[in-house]
């Protein structure tokens, strides 16, 4: 593969499967993890965004299927976010930003992902309330724009927002986030392609690895799973990647 050394390819695949497993277990597509992993392996900036969005579509779709199958999906919680996030993700995918700014924005989002992994945002509320429509539309637009811009689905931000505001349980947040990531990633990659962007051929070889890890993660996460140690390991990987992004 053109942008990764053959001698580290196996290691890359192993970590990729673990990242997909952990993210799918909480209803995420894993884009922030894939981007962190690609940054650690010195992937070119030009291939990181489309590769992350492509893997996101497959893993988040699988994750959503498992969580919905186990009756965790809440339509009324999902659609207000999606109404504004889908068009804004398209706009974000269409926007091209310079490499330095891209790294800085990605570093901030990785920091957010790390905090979520370490449970800084707290636990689910004891009582669940209906989501506020106007606030949901605003949140969806904001997340959608930056998701398309840097190549994530936005679930890493949406799910803690849902929990913090008491609009859903952990499982409901995971199910809603999975579909949110799925539609945003599709919208973002369409915008990217229409802008003239190209999905690297090598990215397609990563899909089976991510799908295997994501399927296992979604299967366990939609039922009962506690990956305490693995989550802290992943938080460590994300921290290294975030620091690297700010220093290079």
Model confidence over 126-159: pLDDT tens digits?
678 888 999 999 999 999 998 888 888 888 788 8
Highest mean pLDDT among 18-27, 113-122, 223-232: 18-27
Residue 168 lies in a domain: yes
Residue 219 lies in a domain: yes
Residue 213 lies in a domain: yes
* Residue 218 lies in domain: 7-247
- Residue 237 is predicted with a pLDDT of 61
- Residue 227 is predicted with a pLDDT of 53
**Residue 66 is inside which H or E element, if any?**
helix 45-69
Crossing angle, helix 45-69 and helix 99-117, to 10 degrees? 30
Residue 1 lies in a domain: no
Does the structure show a pLDDT above 60 at 15?
yes
Domain count, the chain: 1
Residue 36 lies in a domain: yes
Local confidence band at 244 (pLDDT 50, 70, 90 cut-offs)? low
Q: What is the token pair recorded at 191?
A: 């915008």
Mean pLDDT over all residues of the chain? 83
Residue 144 lies in a domain: yes
How far is Cα 165 from Cα 236, in angstroms, rounded to an integer? 27
Quick check: 104 and 229 in contact, CB under 8 A? Answer: no
Q: Write the CA distances from 128 to 44, 102, 123, integer angstroms.
A: 43, 36, 12
Residue 2 lies in a domain: no
Does the structure show a pLDDT above 70 at 1?
no
Among 110, 114, 118, 56, smallest CA distance to 245 is for: 110
Among 151, 131, 125, smallest CA distance to 83 is for: 131
The pTM for the full model equals: 0.83
Residue 42 lies in a domain: yes
């Amino acid at each position: 593969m053109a942008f990764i050394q053959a001698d580290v390819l196996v290691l890359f695949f192993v970590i990729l499967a673990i990242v997909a497993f952990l993210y799918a277990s909480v209803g995420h597509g894993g884009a922030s993890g894939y981007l962190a992993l690609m940054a650690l392996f010195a992937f070119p900036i030009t291939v990181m965004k489309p590769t992350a969005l492509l893997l996101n579509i497959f893993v988040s779709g699988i994750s959503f299927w498992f969580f919905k199958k186990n009756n965790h999906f809440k339509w009324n919680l999902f659609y207000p976010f999606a109404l504004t996030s889908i068009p804004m993700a398209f706009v974000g995918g269409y926007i091209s930003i310079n490499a330095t700014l891209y790294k800085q924005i990605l570093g901030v989002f990785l920091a957010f992902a790390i905090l979520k992994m370490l449970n800084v945002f707290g636990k689910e509320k004891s009582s669940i309330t209906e989501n506020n429509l106007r606030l949901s539309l605003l949140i969806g637009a904001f997340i959608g724009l930056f998701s398309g811009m840097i190549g994530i689905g936005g679930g890493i931000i949406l799910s803690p927002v849902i929990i913090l505001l008491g609009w859903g349980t952990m499982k409901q947040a995971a199910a809603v986030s999975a579909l949110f990531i799925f539609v945003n990633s599709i919208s973002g990659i369409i915008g990217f392609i229409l802008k003239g962007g190209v999905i690297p051929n090598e990215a397609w070889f990563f899909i089976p690895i991510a799908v295997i890890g994501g399927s296992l993660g979604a299967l366990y996460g939609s039922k009962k799973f506690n990956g305490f140690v693995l989550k802290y390991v992943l938080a460590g990987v994300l921290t290294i990647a975030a620091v690297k992004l700010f220093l290079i």
